[in-house]
Amino acid sequence: MERRDFIKKSALATMALSSSITLGNFSNLFAGNLLVNNAYDLVAIKGGEPDTMFDKGIAAFGGMQNFVKKGQKVVIKPNIGWDAVPEKGADTNPKLIGRIIQHCFNAGAKEVFVFDHTCDNWNRCYSNSGIEKAVKDAGGKIVSGATESYYQEVTIKQGKAIKNAKVHELILDSDVFINVPVLKNHNSGILTVGMKNNMGIVWNREEWHRNDLQQSIADFATYSKPNLTVVDAYLVMKTNGPRGTSTNDVVLMKQQIISTDIVAADAAAAKIFGVDPDTIPYIKFADQMKIGRKDLSKLNIKKIML
């Protein structure tokens, strides 16, 4: 993978470290018949707690051992951007993060790291989101993303709006990268899901806002391709995102998406949220750039109702 090639050439190699909602003019992700066999592009789970839904979803992919091998270093990237309690839906659910870590260790992972380049004070974000405790309880290592010296510049070869980015060394030196965004409204990005969650692994994200945010999100996705994207749609912030104002902004939806295709994951999440993926520019751009597929009708999707 490109990030692995980069780290081999870098000095870093020697450094230590709800209710249902109406979906308008198109059908619900869980409606209708979809292909069923053992080679799924995407698994959609509904009706359970975050940890239980992940148990069922990853089992449909044959277990975490199909993604994590013995002795590997895993990096999990939740959204921990905001100083908020889990009930506000601003950050990824801590139950989900804890369970993913457990599955990684059960599959033989040597180390599991969790981090985010937060918007609010990182200590408060990590603590009040409940994610710090969940990581430690599961045996993982939680690391600050607030120090610029841990980011290294990489080239975005296919970039149109951005041509480079400073990426955290944990991503560059990982064997497995698992992206775990929370689905929610965003005042500038319309929605924040998997591809936008990538903004938390770069240092110079302000450049994305200055250089066409929607295209920049798609551009970076040509470089950063997670092994797995897990979308937390348990509590979904429908308004006033990304920070939110109160629990009144949140709808209990009890859904989750798991996919090896970040574009498909974001497209499915958009449908859960109640919008057409074609109305989210970065999803459309990413599809056009062949990063992944937004047309869910062409994918093999497994639906699990709990």
d(C-alpha 69, C-alpha 288), whole Å: 32
Res 27: pLDDT: 36
Across residues 25-43, what is the average pLDDT?
54
Across residues 159-183, what is the average pLDDT?
97
* pLDDT per position as a tens digit, 249-302: 999 999 999 999 999 999 999 999 999 999 999 999 999 999 999 999 999 999
The model's pTM is: 0.88
Res 78: pLDDT: 98
C-beta separation of 231 from 193 below 8 A: yes
Overall size of the chain counted in residues: 306
Q: How far apart are the first and last CA of the chain?
A: 36
d(C-alpha 6, C-alpha 47), whole Å: 41
Q: Which residue has the tokens 């040597």?
A: 110
Can you say whether residue 14 is alpha, beta or left, with left for phi > 0 and alpha for psi between -120 and 50 degrees? alpha
C-beta separation of 258 from 302 below 8 A: no
* pLDDT per position as a tens digit, 115-142: 999 999 999 999 999 999 999 999 999 9
E strand spans, 53-212 = 73-78, 111-116, 141-144, 151-155, 164-168, 176-180, 182-186, 190-192
At the second CATH level, the architecture of 2-305 is 3-Layer(aba) Sandwich (3.40)
Phi, psi of 149 (to 5 degrees): -65, -15
Domain residue ranges in the chain: 2-305
